[in-house]
A and B are shown apart, each in its own frame.
Chain A
Amino acid sequence: MIRLDHVDKTYRTRRGDVVRAVEDISLVVGENEFVTLVGPSGCGKSTLLKLVAGLTEATGGAVSVRGRPVSEPFADVGFVFQQPVLLPWRSVVDNVLFSVEMLGLEPRQYRTQAAGLLELTGLGGFETKYPRELSGGMQQRVAICRALLPDPGLLLMDEPFGALDAMTREEMSLELLRVWEERRKTILFVTHSIPEAILLADRVVVMTPRPGRVARVLTIDLPRPRTMDLEFDGRFKDASDEIRSLIFAARKDRR
């Protein structure tokens, strides 16, 4: 579904320095595949998501989604960020409807679906609450519902659970998997957490620090539906060790 072909992205800072965010990235993501991107800070993971969404243009190589070259934003994408960035003056359900509204669709026709999504993510009964009345985890659930409402084929998630506490984080990961089982879509998921990357993914893309390159792509051969118990599975540990060694090897090289 997504094809990245030797993609480079360099940009200029305000001071005029040239920064190579990602370099020579080649990656193919299949339809309905769950791929996680893991790597240290500043390895261009977020840039990669923006390239796929068409929010920024590659300086080299080619990005295409479903065979179409990406040069500007296109419908059929849902975005979830580290911060929920909800609109504080809108109720929960109106925040969920924000996505269809911005897409130029008629929000009234999506009310039942919005309520259904809130039910699915455990927020039934919270429709009329305001963001400030919700916990961080609940706010992020609203942001996920907002991204899911137009039913995009592609979901881009930029460390969506990064600002949550460890327990809420695990809960949300499993919940995301449950939602994904129910409404299959292609997910590109950026994270700092190695266990999270393995738990969620069909494949894990390990990246090196700036300029971001693909160090290795690991196929996670664990059964689904997944549970936290898998952390004690030998294959989980092997994958975890491999990713860790790749990241640390890259660090040593730089010193």
Chain B
Amino acid sequence: MIARLIRRAAGEFAVPALTLLGALLAWEAATRVFRVPRFIMPAPSAILSEGWEWRYRFIGHTWVTLYETLGGFALSMLVGVPLAILIVYSPVLRSALYPLIVLAQSVPKIAIAPVLLLVVGHGEFPKIVVAFLVAFFPVVVDTATGLAATPPELLDLSRSYRASAFKTFLKVRLPMAMPFVFAGAKVAITLSVIGAVVGEFVGSDQGLGYVILSATSYWKTELAFSSMILLSLMAIVLFGAVALVERLTCPWLAPAPEE
């Protein structure tokens, strides 16, 4: 039993961990052997020590980017889910809103960002807006798909009991759509990180995106790399948090217990 568990853990974690470690070692060795300049490709050890040097300054920058990301994500859920509900329930609104939403999605966000900064001004808010614009589309599409996927028999059943449309929505359609809502949320949270960084690239004086931009302009590549690592860690943790909320609120989605 224990031996089996260890073997499973080895298969699941040890192999990828060893692969990663091997790659890092090869990277470290290559930069030393070939004497690659620091500003072109810093060694992992240099990235780590630079990151450690910056540990206190990173707290503030990480907080700013996290704040922008969560703001954009929250906004995309708050706007995206109700928008999806409107689209599913009203054919008129559907034909009115859908082209606008697709249009908003098709404009490259990196192209909107400078204009947005002009309009909305500086600070965190314009980055939240960019993060929102990048993230809201999958929320709308997935939620709308989920709401439209209610089995027609359940709708007939509700109707035969003369339940109101609102009651049917609350007790049947919305819970039925939850897996889709979470699928959209998982995509949205990772896109929010990207949106926040794009916003920071265009104009800011704080945040991890700003650190990357200013580090590269001073040839401090190892600092840029440590910011990137922090950003990926942030995205992974946030994704995990959404997945955890999904597991807690929709326990019925877990695979059936084995006999």
Q: Which residues of A contact B (CB under 8 A)?
A: 50, 53-55, 73-75, 77, 79, 81, 83, 85, 87-89, 98-99, 101-104, 130, 132-133
Interchain CB contact under 8 A, A55 and B252: no
In the complex, chain B residues whose CB is within 8 Å of the CB of A85: 151, 153-154, 157
C-alpha gap A45/B7 in the complex (Å)? 57
Tell me, yes or no, whether B171 is within 8 Å of chain A by CB.
yes
Interchain CB contact under 8 A, B157 and A79: yes
Specify the chain A residue showing the minimal Cβ separation from B259: A133
In the complex, chain A residues whose CB is within 8 Å of the CB of B250: 89
Interface string of B125-158 (1 = CB under 8 A from A): 0000000000000000000000000010110111
**Closest Cβ–Cβ distance, residue A233 to chain B (whole Å):** 35
Specify the chain A residue showing the minimal Cβ separation from B154: A85
Q: Which residues of B contact A (CB under 8 A)?
A: 151, 153-154, 156-163, 167-168, 171-172, 175-176, 250-253, 256-257
Interchain CB contact under 8 A, A55 and B159: yes
C-alpha gap A99/B163 in the complex (Å)? 10
Question: Would you list 21 pairs from A and B whose C-beta atoms are within 8 A, ordered by A residue?
Answer: A54-B160, A55-B156, A55-B159, A55-B160, A73-B160, A73-B162, A74-B162, A75-B161, A77-B160, A79-B156, A87-B154, A87-B172, A89-B250, A99-B161, A102-B157, A102-B158, A102-B167, A102-B168, A104-B163, A132-B256, A133-B256
A73-B161, A75-B162 are known contacts; what are 14 more A-B pairs with Cβ within 8 Å?
A: A50-B156, A53-B160, A55-B156, A79-B160, A81-B153, A85-B153, A87-B172, A89-B175, A89-B250, A98-B171, A102-B157, A102-B163, A102-B168, A103-B161
**Closest Cβ–Cβ distance, residue B150 to chain A (whole Å):** 10
Give chain B's interface secondary structure class: helix
**Closest Cβ–Cβ distance, residue B138 to chain A (whole Å):** 23
C-alpha gap A75/B171 in the complex (Å)? 19
**Closest Cβ–Cβ distance, residue A98 to chain B (whole Å):** 8
C-alpha gap A126/B153 in the complex (Å)? 24
Interchain CB contact under 8 A, B161 and A102: yes
In the complex, chain A residues whose CB is within 8 Å of the CB of B157: 79, 81, 85, 102
In the complex, chain A residues whose CB is within 8 Å of the CB of B151: 83, 85
Nearest 5 A/B pairs, CB to CB: A102-B161, A102-B163, A81-B153, A89-B252, A88-B252
**Closest Cβ–Cβ distance, residue A238 to chain B (whole Å):** 35
**Closest Cβ–Cβ distance, residue B148 to chain A (whole Å):** 15
Specify the chain A residue showing the minimal Cβ separation from B168: A102
In the complex, chain A residues whose CB is within 8 Å of the CB of B158: 102
Specify the chain B residue showing the minimal Cβ separation from A78: B160
From known contacts A83-B153, A87-B175, A102-B167, infer whether A132 and B159 are also in contact, taking CB-CB under 8 Å: no
C-alpha gap A89/B249 in the complex (Å)? 10
From known contacts A79-B157, A85-B154, infer whether A132 and B171 are also in contact, taking CB-CB under 8 Å: no
In the complex, chain B residues whose CB is within 8 Å of the CB of A102: 157-158, 161, 163, 167-168, 171
In the complex, chain B residues whose CB is within 8 Å of the CB of A87: 154, 172, 175-176
C-alpha gap A172/B127 in the complex (Å)? 61
In the complex, chain B residues whose CB is within 8 Å of the CB of A98: 171
